[in-house]
Amino acid sequence: MGAAGLPQWLTMDFKSRIDLFRDAIGFEGLGDAQIQQIGGLSFTKGFSKGAIVFSESDACNYFHLVAKGLVKVSLVSYGGNRITYLLAGSGEPLNLVGPFSGAPRPLCAEVLEDALVVHVKREDFTTFCYENPAVMHNIIIILGRAVDSANSRILDMMEMRVEQRLLRVLLTLYRKFGKTLDFTSIELAEMAGTTTESTLRVMARLRQSEIVQTRRGQIQILQVEHLERAGSESMWI
Amino acid sequence: MGAAGLPQWLTMDFKSRIDLFRDAIGFEGLGDAQIQQIGGLSFTKGFSKGAIVFSESDACNYFHLVAKGLVKVSLVSYGGNRITYLLAGSGEPLNLVGPFSGAPRPLCAEVLEDALVVHVKREDFTTFCYENPAVMHNIIIILGRAVDSANSRILDMMEMRVEQRLLRVLLTLYRKFGKTLDFTSIELAEMAGTTTESTLRVMARLRQSEIVQTRRGQIQILQVEHLERAGSESMWI
DNA sequence: CGCTTGCTTGATGGCAGTCAACTCCCGTGG
DNA sequence: CCACGGGAGTTGACTGCCATCAAGCAAGCG
């Protein structure tokens, strides 16, 4: 599990980590000295596809920032349903609240593409934030967006059909990753808030209309216009 | 509209405002000096039932904290659907993100019971927060809860029936307000994420089972056990 | 070459959203 | 004081989406 058995991946050198933090989400508006400070407090760890960065039961001991690869943060219910809350690529943080509460949160972070994740010890991170309120300011803005996004998804569940929700998901993914999407229908279902079967049925329709083209674990978007027609607003994931 | 035509309500005196802030959500862990400082920056305004404290299009110029009464913060979709995001009573803030972003947010705050709302100018509030990172820490924790709550509601929409969702809403309201709930079925529907008609139908069933008793705009809970049986977890609203 | 995981499709049933019609309560203004 | 209107509540009928169960196929990996 985890990074066990991995080749000893390059730990990023200091300069690369600095560059990462400089452009990372949540660290806007910091001076060079501060960027160097937080960079110096960080270290990296490699994870291969399928590995778990943290899970529901874990107390939060580190702040995590994705440096390379892709990590999915999701939420499971007692009934076994799962929704994805966040898809974090390079420069995107995984847990903005955890370091402040320290308590475990009902979230699970799973690696979708082999990833390099930067760690900062919880205390180091919070101390740094207290000394740089601008970072906390940024975090509050980001969490505000997350709340808005989640609330929009509730409204979407009420008034949009599965097909529309899936189109919105595809549009969002297209804007983030381009025309080639490496996701399974299971993963799409978790983003749209529906079942695998319903997703598959919709995808079959879209394929017949030549709006998309599918392979095992991959979707090619052929007609972007059709996605934009069904709701030009994308989600925040 | 708004406070127009109201009797000149008592503006709270300094000491009352201090007491309010001392116990207010988000201001835990401050010293007396800080409490006095933020109290000194605040002033109050009265709103009668039905008044709008702020709405979607308003830029955010003030931080708002409810001192008395009850205020509902909700979110409307283009389709006209509305969900309640927050029910704020005494000591509960209305807008934790707005003061930091300054931008208008897709939220609307409406007064359910004649209310007294404390205002702090946006700049005063953010300056105060920068000087007291503990407050920003509190805000981050609160927003984390809000995100979790919204995500849970998405899962509830997926796997729970309307009846179960309404029972959860009733349980939540019971824990916050007691056995007598002054809400219309429309308002319940906005909390459970369903339609008025469906809510009415469920309420009719619950009334026949003598679990609740209803009057126009009021619900009396008769069997608390029945609510707790259907999911002991309440929501965060 | 088997097994796991993903994909596919059919059949079925029920929940709840929608439309519609009507009553009742209450406040307001003439 | 009464009439009126609007908002809340109530109920019936209908429909259709989609979750669920089920069965089988395909592909990739060890």
CB A20 within 8 A of CB A67: yes
Confidence class of residue B7 from pLDDT cuts 50, 70 and 90? very low
Give the whole-number percent of chain B exceeding pLDDT 70: 96
Mean pLDDT score of chain A, rounded to an integer?
94
- One-letter identity of residue A104: P
According to the model, what pLDDT value does residue A57 have?
Answer: 92
Domains of chain B listed by start with CATH number:
14-156 (2.60.120.10), 160-230 (1.10.10.10)
pLDDT digits (tens, 9 = 90+) for A28-47: 999 999 999 999 999 999 99
Question: Is the pLDDT assigned to residue A5 strictly greater than 80?
Answer: no
CA angle A31, A141, B96 (to 5 degrees): 125
Reported as type and span, the H/E element at residue A192 is: helix A185-192
Contacting residues of A for B101, CB less than 8 Å apart? 141, 144
Strand C contact at CB of residue B190, distance < 7 A: no
Question: Is the pLDDT assigned to residue A21 strictly greater than 50?
Answer: yes
Strand C contact at CB of residue B195, distance < 7 A: yes
B164 to A88, A189, B177: CA distances (angstroms): 33, 23, 20
Residue B56 near chain A (CB below 8 Å): no
Distance CA B160, CA A79 (A): 10
Of A25, A12, A109, A151, the residue nearest B154 (C-alpha): A151
According to the model, what pLDDT value does residue A233 have?
Answer: 84
Confidence class of residue B232 from pLDDT cuts 50, 70 and 90? confident
- One-letter identity of residue A157: M
Residue B232 near chain A (CB below 8 Å): no
Reported as type and span, the H/E element at residue A116 is: strand A108-121
Average the pLDDT over A112-128 and give the result.
97
Residue–nucleotide distance: B161 CA to C15 C1' (Å):
8
Average the pLDDT over B196-205 and give the result.
98
According to the model, what pLDDT value does residue A86 have?
Answer: 98
Question: Is the pLDDT assigned to residue B82 strictly greater than 80?
Answer: yes
Beta-carbon neighbour count of residue B119 at 10 Å?
A: 18
Question: Is the pLDDT assigned to residue A90 strictly greater than 70?
Answer: yes
Given an 8 Å threshold on Cβ–Cβ distance, is B139 in contact with A141?
A: no
Residue A2 near chain B (CB below 8 Å): no
Question: Is the pLDDT assigned to residue A232 strictly greater than 80?
Answer: no
B198: the nucleotide nearest its CA (via C1') is C16
Given an 8 Å threshold on Cβ–Cβ distance, is A77 in contact with B146?
A: no
Residue A204 near chain B (CB below 8 Å): no
Question: Is the pLDDT assigned to residue B6 strictly greater than 90?
Answer: no
CB A62 within 8 A of CB A42: no
Average the pLDDT over A45-68 and give the result.
96
Average the pLDDT over B121-147 and give the result.
98
According to the model, what pLDDT value does residue B8 have?
Answer: 46
* 3-class secondary-structure state, position A82: strand
B8 versus B224: the higher-pLDDT residue is B224
Average the pLDDT over B49-59 and give the result.
95
Mutate to test the interface with B, among A82, A143, A153 (most CBs of B within 10 A): A143
Where do the DSSP E strands lie in A55-107? Answer: 62-76, 82-88
Tell me, yes or no, if the pTM score tops 0.85: yes
Residue B29 near chain A (CB below 8 Å): no
Provide the token pair at A86. Answer: 């966040």
Residue A169 near chain B (CB below 8 Å): no
Sign of CA dihedral B159, B164, B168, B173: positive
According to the model, what pLDDT value does residue B234 have?
Answer: 87
CB A83 within 8 A of CB A193: yes
Confidence class of residue B233 from pLDDT cuts 50, 70 and 90? confident
Mutate to test the interface with B, among A154, A195, A198 (most CBs of B within 10 A): A154
CB A124 within 8 A of CB A41: yes
Average the pLDDT over A195-217 and give the result.
97
pLDDT digits (tens, 9 = 90+) for B135-150: 999 999 999 999 999 9
Helix, strand and coil in chain A, % to nearest 5: 45, 25, 35
Which residue is it, tokens 């927003």? Answer: B143
According to the model, what pLDDT value does residue A4 have?
Answer: 42
Distance CA B225, CA A118 (A): 48
Residue A159 near chain B (CB below 8 Å): yes
- One-letter identity of residue B224: V
Average the pLDDT over A96-124 and give the result.
97
For residue B49, list its beta bridge partners: none
Backbone angles phi, psi at A9, to 5 degrees: -65, 150
CB B198 within 8 A of CB B189: yes
Distance to chain B for A124, nearest Cα, Å: 15
Question: Is the pLDDT assigned to residue B5 strictly greater than 50?
Answer: no
Distance CA B10, CA B114 (A): 13
Average the pLDDT over A201-212 and give the result.
97
Given an 8 Å threshold on Cβ–Cβ distance, is A75 in contact with B151?
A: yes
* Three-state SS sequence of chain B: CCCCCCCCCCCCCHHHHHHHHHHCCCCCCCCHHHHHHHHHCEEEEEECCCCEEECCCCCCCEEEEEEEEEEEEEEECCCCCEEEEEEECCCCECCCCHHHHCCCCCCEEEEEEEEEEEEEEHHHHHHHHHHCHHHHHHHHHHHHHHHHHHHHHHHHHHHCCHHHHHHHHHHHHHHHHCCEECCCHHHHHHHHCCCHHHHHHHHHHHHHCCCEEEECCEEEECCHHHHHHCCCCCCCC
According to the model, what pLDDT value does residue B10 have?
Answer: 60
> Residues whose CB falls within 7 A of nucleic chain D?
A 161-163, 194-195, 197-198, 215-216; B 158-159, 184-186, 196-197, 200-201, 203-204, 214, 216-217
CB B101 within 8 A of CB A141: yes
Beta-carbon pairs below 8 A across chains A and B: 124
Query: Which nucleotides in chain D have some atom under 7 angstroms from a protein Cβ?
Result: 8-13, 17-22, 27-28
